[in-house]
Structure 1
Amino acid sequence: MNARTMKSGRPRILLAEDDTVSRAFLAEAMGGIAEVTAVDGAGGALEAARQGPGFALWLLDAHLPDGDGVALLRALRKHAPATPALAHTADPDPAVAGVLRAAGFRDVLLKPIAIPALREAIRGALGQPPPRSVAEAAAPPWQPRLQRMFIAELPGQRDALCAAIGRGECETAQSLLHRLRGACATVGAIELDAAVRALQASPGSASAWLAFDRAVAAALRVEDAAEVGQQVP
């Protein structure tokens, strides 16, 4: 055992992800193969890297509220130059992936990330062999808890976005939309994701905002209906 491996034999992984739902999903997905330290920003990642033993791998969001993945990787490299890093993002632009790889990320994972693909990327970065059984390779069952977290945060995210657009804070609005898009991908909110992408492209469009608001309302209605159904004997 070394400083980057716990007594369980599992490697220590630093996860940086600002969205609550995506962070919970990724941490849970890695729970069976790693000891995960999850933080919500670049500042938290740097603080975690400075404290205690080192990490075997960094899994960093390409876009964080207090910095971007490239700058964070550069800062982390000052503490541990040889630690491998993976980036994850909801942005499908190949140019974004190219910039991240050029900066030193071993690979770029596009949200939504399938659990087997995530674990395969981690094993590849750590030089580990593939799983020894089909059961280990299979994705665990979906966790309804993550969807409930997503729904619980949705009204607040909508209000924050509305306020940012109303104040003309385009950068803040785009950051909020990017974060929401990642969460939509994680829980499979396809219609809401489409509305978010349309609003990203035209944040000042009244029709795009109306479509987004309707998609949010529809998602909340679906959750309410599910809760009512669960209460019926």
Structure 2
Amino acid sequence: MNRLLLVEDDPTSRSFLQAASAALPAEVDIADSVEAAYALATVNAYDAWLIDANLPDGTGATLLARLRAAGCTAPAIAHTAARERRELDALRAEGFAAAISKPVGADVWLGAIRGVLGRRSGTHPAAPLPDARRSGEAPLWNGETALAAVGGNSGNVRGLRDLFVGELDGTRARIAAAAAAGDENAVRGDLHRLRAGCGFVGAERLGLAARVLHVEPASAVALHAFLETLDATRESANG
């Protein structure tokens, strides 16, 4: 059986990716930061690393560079909320064998892992950039998107959505505080994690509002729209 290291700090994304990876079949260890992942990867033998591109204490590329410098040679897949071709290409240029945009279907995710393990290839073309200016017209929840992301299992959608909604209060507080302090990097860091989770649970309008704020983290208008959308998303789930 293969042993994989999944590095992901967003609970919603981590839950889905861990379950999908285990179906390989594989034993899946998890880490939620650069330091935790480095500690595991330098003492355990892994067949592949599955590394989030943005982590609380650094980037996936920095982690990969440290592991390579330490003599670790496992192939690595980058996973990211970014969907732009240039960002995916940049991750591959940093040494990742593949770069995958989240949300990602279980079949594509497993295909990518099998590809780096030398079993068979899996591809995941970058999706076109949506028109974020129309985010207010998007539905709060897109059930079709969520079902597609988790392989059509409605029970998985409900479980991930409950986990996602449970994190929204904390996410809101952190982003509001970071915006008030003018810390654009912190705002973008939390938005990156949120955007991936939005895709897995079909929180379409919130995902688009998060993308707008990610582009303009200093915009009071974008922040207001984002916070309003987050509140509406949370209330609709609890209603």
Task: State TM-score, norm by structure 1.
Answer: 0.84
CA distance in 1, matches of 2:69, 2:29: 19
CA distance in 2, matches of 1:165, 1:98: 30
CA distance in 1, matches of 2:94, 2:216: 30
CA distance in 2, matches of 1:81, 1:43: 15
Aligned-pair CA distance for 1:202: 2.2
1:25 equivalent in structure 2: 16
1:207 equivalent in structure 2: 221
Following superposition of structure 1 onto structure 2, how do residues 79-118 of structure 1 map, counting pairs within 5 Å?
Answer: 79-118=70-109
CA distance in 1, matches of 2:232, 2:30: 31
> CA offsets, 1:145-169, max 9 Å, x none?
2111110110110011000111111
Contact 1:49–1:79 under 8 Å retained in 2: no
Contact 2:111–2:120 under 8 Å retained in 1: no
Contact 1:90–1:181 under 8 Å retained in 2: yes
Which structure 2 residue ranges, 5 or more long, are not aligned? 122-149
> CA offsets, 1:161-181, max 9 Å, x none?
000111111111111111111
State percent identity of aligned pairs.
38
Aligned-pair CA distance for 1:104: 1.3
Aligned-pair CA distance for 1:128: 2.0
Q: Secondary structure at the match of 1:58?
A: strand
Residue type matched to 2:95 in 1?
G
2:190 equivalent in structure 1: 176
> CA offsets, 1:191-233, max 9 Å, x none?
00011111112223232222212211221122112xxxxxxxx
Q: Does 1:58 align with 2:49?
A: yes
Residue type matched to 1:44 in 2?
A
Residue type matched to 2:34 in 1?
A
2:173 equivalent in structure 1: 159
CA distance in 2, matches of 1:206, 1:66: 27
Match of 2:153 among 123, 138, 141: 141
Shift >6 Å, 4+ stretches? none
Larger radius of gyration: 1
Residue type matched to 1:121 in 2?
A
